[in-house]
Amino acid sequence: MSETTLALTVLVVALALSFDFINGFHDTANSIATSISTKALPPRIAIVLASVMNLLGALTFTGVAKTIGGKIADPFSLGNGLYIVTAALMAAIAWNLITWYYGIPSSSSHALIGSMAGGVVAAAGFKAVNFLGFLTIMEALVFSPIIAFIVGYMVMSLIKLLFRRANPVKANRRFRTLQVFTAAWQAFSHGTNDAQKSMGIITFALIAGGFQQSLDIPSWVKVSCAFAMALGTSVGGWRIIKTVGTRIIKIEPPNGFAADLTSTVVILAATLLKLPVSTTHVISSAIMGVGAAKRFYQVKWGTAQKIVTAWLVTLPVTFFLAIGAYFLIALARSLF
């Protein structure tokens, strides 16, 4: 095994953990935005709770990691696998930081998957992409927010019906209490899905570098990715929290409970099906669905439009960013 291979593998692991850390304060902010907005939890307690539950969620499942590690491309057949993953992670991290800076809740999942596809195409052409696996992943990414919107609308409509004669003050107090539990479960569900994506990328790199011969996720990969995401969560993504918690709808405790419950169910269902979904898309869509059920005209559709636009551009932008990053790496290799 050459020193270059070892050095590249170490670099990939470092980049993947950095991506997980950034994902922690970028995407996990979504999972606690509603509970902070409704004052169900103080910000610091919400962040600690989310960090712990993300850690537990990340350590619980590995199915999504295997999907990411083997369904976009075959890591056993790519000769430049380490360079592909390096370029993909550079592109995904760059896009996450750009969208975080502007407070746009874009999808880390879209960023990573778009970047991986771009890196594979740059290295080996379109023929190297496993289009059947890629389409399976894309179907999950596309349909999950639609499902979240519909379920959110239904859950909020049911709450309106059941509590139409309830005392508003007492109802709000009860829903704030319930939000503590739904926020915890939402953070747990985020960990079960999002942390696994970096686990899959690291495993892809380990196979490409010749360090292992299967898609099984090593224990040290699970633990390191889980802790990286939990650490990122502890930092807190206040820009994203502000957008999700205040700029889509005016969130009250019943809305927050309905949105949290909806997104938790959708994300956990996807995890059990071993499908990667965008927690950002799911949570934002659940909030939109809940808002539409309460008062359609009060949803700030201008903000929603900006979020949807970010969703649409993330895949192509990261695809081409990864291609650019791969060719820069290739140029550096030829010079040095």
pLDDT tens digits, residue range 264-287?
999 999 999 988 888 878 888 898
The set of residues, in sequence order, having a beta carbon less than 8 Å from that of 265 and lying 6+ positions away, is: 151
Residue 120 bridge partners (DSSP): none
Helix (H, G, I), strand (E, B) or coil at 73: strand
Judge whether 287 and 34 are in contact, CB under 8 Å. yes
**Tell me, what's the pLDDT at 248?**
56
**Tell me, what's the pLDDT at 131?**
85
From the list 192, 25, 201, 226, the residue with the least C-alpha distance to 113 is 201
Give the pLDDT mean for 53-76. 82
CA dihedral 249, 255, 257, 263 (to 10 degrees): -50
Residue 129 bridge partners (DSSP): 73
DSSP string across 159-211: HHHHTTTS-HHHHHHHHHHHHHHHHHHHHHHHHHHHHHHHHHHHHHHHHHTTS
Give the pLDDT mean for 30-36. 73
pLDDT tens digits, residue range 94-110?
998 888 777 676 777 88
**Residue 320 burial class via C-beta count within 10 angstroms: exposed 0-12, middle 13-18, buried 19 and up:** middle
pLDDT tens digits, residue range 294-333?
777 667 777 667 767 877 889 899 999 999 999 999 898 8
From the list 195, 224, 187, the residue with the least C-alpha distance to 52 is 187
**Tell me, what's the pLDDT at 249?**
58
| Mean pLDDT score across all residues of the chain | 84
Q: How wide is the angle at C-alpha 123 spanned by C-alphas 229 and 114, nearest 5°? A: 40
**Tell me, what's the pLDDT at 178?**
93
Does residue 123 surpass a pLDDT of 50?
yes
Does residue 245 surpass a pLDDT of 50?
no
pLDDT tens digits, residue range 214-229?
888 898 998 898 888 8
**Residue 298 burial class via C-beta count within 10 angstroms: exposed 0-12, middle 13-18, buried 19 and up:** exposed
DSSP string across 126-162: GGGB-HHHHHHHHHHHHHHHHHHHHHHHHHHHHHHHH
Helix (H, G, I), strand (E, B) or coil at 245: helix
pLDDT band (50, 70, 90) for residue 91: very high
Whole-model pTM: value is 0.84
Judge whether 276 and 139 are in contact, CB under 8 Å. no
Q: H/E element holding 269?
A: helix 253-272
**Tell me, what's the pLDDT at 265?**
95
**Tell me, what's the pLDDT at 328?**
94
